[in-house]
Chain A
Amino acid sequence: MQLTATTAKTVLTLKQRPHIPLEAEVLTPDRLAFKTRDEIAALPLVLGKRQVRVDDYFDVEGDGSHELEIHGDVGRVKWIGRGMTRGRIVIRGNAGMHLGAFMSGGAIEVDGNASDWVGGEMRGGLIRVTGNAGGQIGAAYRGSMSGMRDGTILIGGTAGLEVGMRMKRGIIAIRGKVKDFAGLQMKGGTIVLMSGAEIRTGAWMVRGTIISLAPLRLLPTFAFTSAYDPTFLNLYSKCLAPYGFALPRAGKEGIYRRYMGDSAVPGKGELLVWQPNSP
């Protein structure tokens, strides 16, 4: 019997918070869409070295669909949305490590905090987190040549170390302050830092753009090139505005100072740092 995915949602509600991390790469719309409620309930998760079932940890409502909603604090549940290509996951609560890693399409929304490796090596799609996120957002896994290759990651709060490490394309925008090494070894794409970052931003970057609306402590290997009005920001503004990330235009209020680096590589990445006009 060929089942068709219904338009209704699949809803998982966490019954008990696992005492050690639970690995749940099976929780993607791709894997759930054509399954019945019972089939979903029986899907395997991994708790430490033991295999468990979805319904050991979640109440399952509804058959499979392209829309998965997860309720509860799944901050210890790893790999949700791994490699997804389509559909939508909404998490009402915190999300665990590797959320949306390797995803190539669809959308993930988290109403809460996320952990490390959000969108690790993602190829496309959208991840939106209202709260804080951990480190290595959109980054390359250890040893890999490149991090995210396309897609969008939006973080409402703060973020950790090595945001966008070795990313090639795509956008990462973060409203809160970011820790060290944002854009480490970046090869392309754009990182928007609405509240700036701690230190070593853009370290060893080859290409790509980091925009910061707050002053940055620069590495000595970045050189000031010009103060200007980067017109391409219009495009980003348009794309980010619906999510509440407004980029100011150069003019009466201020201007963007452009720095190039990292000369240690030597690279041709750019840092655009917003400088408000003094009142």
Chain B
Amino acid sequence: MGGKVTCTLGEVKNRADLVIYWGGNPAECHPRHFTKYALMPKGKFVPNGRKDRTMILVDIRETPSAKAADIFLQIKPTKDFEMITVLRAIIKEQPVDPAIVAEIGLSLEQLRDLADRMKKAKFGVMFFGMGLSMTRGKHMNSAALLTLAAELNAFTKFVAMPMRGHGNVTGGDVIMRWMTGYPFGVNLARGYPRFNPGEFSTIDMLIRGDCDAALILGADPGATMPQPAIDHLARVPTITLDPKVTHTSRISRVHITTAVTGISAPGTAYRMDEIPLPLRPALKSPYPTDEEVLRRIRQKIACKPLQLPPTVPMMTDAE
């Protein structure tokens, strides 16, 4: 239960002989993923590159990525969790019900073949996208895939990794962890970090109207979030830091134009496998960096009377 078995992308490049993409379309969304890391490169232990690897794509529709696959497994929508759960049973030689398996859109033979390839791989990897993690079942779909990967280590080497989105999402996650102990969905209102996705995650808070102000940094929720969440952003004072005019900046009370990180602002970005990469600015920008703006806001707040957190006793889980 729980946990995560993963690696850096160089491990995939050098070793992976079975590459599975699940619920994602890297050919269009992560165009360099095939060529730089996972499929084409010649690696230390896969000297012939693409020829030494088998690529399997699992998705509900045939995307351009299917052309790159040796095997394309098209499944019925919202059957990912069922399929992964069946695979977990098959690798342990436990019984499954063939009639219900058929609802996944694949035959039991296809699933057995897949399980067999997984076990026989020398080094297997599963990359999963939002087609898995953002469809019905959400975090449990991701948990299912991570658990399957962990369990496959009883037979061979197997890892799993999410295909993170644009920008420095991973960096935000990494820094939240060292500052608060939690990756996201953190509430600091009581002066110490508390974590509960669903309760404190952004979309849920906005939809319920649980916040009375918003600061948006490095994101465009106005373009991606559900309408009730966007409506709340428009309702409360929203401040957006962004180099460009965005859907979010249009509904914000305040939009501060900032320098483009990576082009005009230095720093560190974390790749999807959490490898830190230095950003070296190539151009000068007339605009301040995000960091500078936040620092100045913080200085202004520091001039106000200090507001200490509530003094009520901390909530800890009793043993």
Contact = CB atoms under 8 A, between A and B. Distances in A.
Chain A directly contacts chain B within the complex, with at least one CB pair under 8 Å: yes
Interface of A: 19-21, 23, 25-26, 44-46, 48-51, 79, 82-83, 97, 102, 116-117, 121, 135-136, 141-144, 180-181, 184-185, 200, 203-204, 218-223, 262-266
Contacts of B312: 25-26, 44-46, 51
Q: Which 7 A-B pairs have the closest CB atoms?
A: A51-B310, A263-B94, A264-B88, A220-B100, A49-B189, A263-B89, A264-B89
B211 A219 contact: no
Nearest to B191: A49
B195 interface: yes
Contacts of A264: 85-86, 88-89, 92, 94
Contacts of B100: 218-220
Contacts of A116: 198-199
B302 interface: no
B317 A46 contact: no
Nearest to B309: A49
Contact of B315 (A82, A117, A121, A144): A82
A221 B94 contact: yes
Contacts of A23: 190
B17 to A, nearest CB: 25
Contacts of A45: 312
Contact of A262 (B85, B198, B317): B85
Given A46-B312, A51-B310, A220 B210 contact: no
How would you classify the secondary structure of chain B's contact residues: helix, strand, loop or mixed?
loop
Given A20-B211, A44-B311, A220 B82 contact: yes
Nearest to B98: A220
Nearest to A51: B310
Contacts of A218: 97, 100
Contact of B310 (A50, A97, A223): A50
A45 B310 CA distance: 9
28 contacts: A19-B212, A21-B210, A23-B190, A44-B311, A46-B312, A48-B189, A49-B189, A49-B310, A82-B315, A102-B317, A136-B198, A142-B195, A142-B196, A144-B317, A185-B1, A200-B81, A203-B81, A220-B82, A220-B101, A220-B103, A221-B86, A221-B97, A222-B97, A263-B94, A263-B95, A264-B92, A266-B89, A266-B92
Is the contact region of chain A dominated by helix, strand, or loop, or is it mixed? loop
Contacts of B212: 19-20, 48
B140 interface: yes
Given A48-B189, A181-B140, A263 B310 contact: no
Interface string B194-215: 0111110000000001111000
A184 B89 contact: no
A262 B309 CA distance: 46
Contacts of B315: 25, 79, 82
A136 B139 CA distance: 14
Given A20-B210, A220-B86, A46 B310 contact: yes
Interface centre among A97, A102, A263 (most CB of B within 10 A): A263
Contacts of B85: 203-204, 219-221, 262, 264
A220 B97 contact: yes
B13 to A, nearest CB: 31
B91 to A, nearest CB: 9
Interface residues of B, number: 41
B294 interface: no
A103 to B, nearest CB: 11
Contacts of A180: 136-137
Contacts of B1: 185, 204
A141 B94 CA distance: 30
A44 B315 CA distance: 14
Nearest to A104: B318
Contacts of B98: 220
Contacts of A49: 189-191, 307, 309-310
Interface centre among A19, A82, A204 (most CB of B within 10 A): A204
Contacts of A221: 85-86, 88-89, 94, 96-97
A45 B210 CA distance: 16
A97 B100 CA distance: 36
Contact of A135 (B82, B92, B198): B198
Given A135-B198, A220-B100, 13 more contacts: A44-B312, A46-B189, A83-B318, A121-B317, A180-B137, A181-B137, A203-B85, A219-B82, A220-B86, A220-B103, A222-B97, A262-B85, A263-B89
B286 interface: no
A127 B94 CA distance: 38
A33 to B, nearest CB: 17
B155 to A, nearest CB: 16
A142 B94 CA distance: 28
B2 interface: yes
B148 to A, nearest CB: 9
Nearest to A143: B2
A135 B196 CA distance: 13
Interface string B40-56: 00000000000000000
A185 B143 CA distance: 12
Contacts of A21: 210
B36 to A, nearest CB: 34
Contacts of A83: 318
A229 B311 CA distance: 56
Interface in B259-318: 307, 309-312, 315, 317-318
Contacts of A46: 189-190, 310, 312
